[in-house]
Amino acid sequence: MPICAESGSGAKAWIAHVGVLLGSCVAAAAAGYYLRRLRSRSFRSRVIGVIPARYASSRFEGKPLVPILGKPMIQRTWERAKLASSLDSVVVATDDERIAECCRGFGADVIMTSESCRNGAERCSEALQKLAKTYDIVVNIQGDEPLIEPEIIDGIVQALQRAPDAVFSTAVTSLKPEHAFDSNRVKCVIDSNGYAIYFSRGLIPFNKSGKVNPNFPYLLHLGIQSYDSEFLKIYPKLEPTPLQLEEDLEQLKVLENGYKMKVIKVDHDAHGVDTPEDVEKMEAIMRAKNIE
């Protein structure tokens, strides 16, 4: 009987050991499959670009429709976005029939959204839920960046596809010293792994001298951003946060709620249209680049 008891105990231990090994193999196989999906870019593979556009604006009413060398600004942005290889589709999301009619006129797909959307992210969220198809990533493309580079769109999409712990990705470039204290130019600081720490309309980091350090690599936020679609669905349900309200920057709500945001650095000479005075500057830049 003792021999039989020992044999039974040994059999149980052997079975348990085999079970652990099998469990480890299954876990390893699952991890390997997940990594292969990441490498093959099948992870978060369905991508749509959304250009949120509203007519009402305290700084520049009707901005999306302002002519830039003969074309509405939103058309120029849409044409640039269509060149991005990562996007399966590009739509305009608006609450204004004047913008919708203009966009349909040059061939864009339009999603009508409510006037209650408080920012571009909420407008993208509403548009996502009205689309007939499902998508894994939504790219929020600023309509006032008619010179946005398709490669930057592709870059932030790839960054989100390769960072499964992030729900949001965006891009930064070098900040020009003359823009250091321009509150329309949003600054960003990131950690050593390329995740956002903070965004501000003020200069960050800010040293004790109160002056721009010519040797410090300050970063300018380019505004374009992409979201994991499941996160974007819950974004409007998150309550506004103190830092978001103080800085009037929607991405701070993401950080204040503990979500991770991947940031890529790009070489880009940012030219947005924030005020009516920027229109002539934009047209001069486009003429210099021989853009018609």
CB atoms within 10 A of CB 198: 16
Give the Cα separation of 288 and 265 in Å (integer).
25
How far is residue 243's CA from residue 251's CA, in Å, rounded to a whole number?
10
Please give the share of the chain, as a percent, with pLDDT higher than 70. 85
Band (pLDDT 50/70/90 cuts) for residue 42 is: low
What digits encode the pLDDT tens for the residues 85-108? 999 999 999 999 999 999 999 999
Q: How far apart are CA 225 and CA 139, in angstroms?
A: 6
List, in sequence order, every residue forming a beta bridge with 71; answer none if it has no partner.
Answer: 68
CB-CB neighbours of 274 under 10 Å: 14
Determine the average pLDDT of the residues in 40-58: 82
Sign of the torsion formed by the C-alpha atoms of 41, 47, 49 and 52: negative
Q: For residue 286, give the nearest of 52, 84, 73, 60 by alpha carbon.
A: 73
Which residue is listed with tokens 């002056």?
Answer: 211
At residue 215, what are phi and psi to the nearest 5 degrees? -100, 0
The pTM for the full model equals 0.81
pLDDT, tens digit, for every residue of 209-256?
A: 999 999 999 999 998 999 999 999 999 999 999 999 999 999 999 999
Query: Is the predicted pLDDT of residue 36 greater than 80, yes or no?
Result: no
Spatial contact of 196 and 251, defined as CB atoms under 8 Å apart: yes
Q: Give pLDDT, residue 34.
A: 38
* Span of 88-92, 157-161, 182-186 with lowest mean pLDDT: 182-186
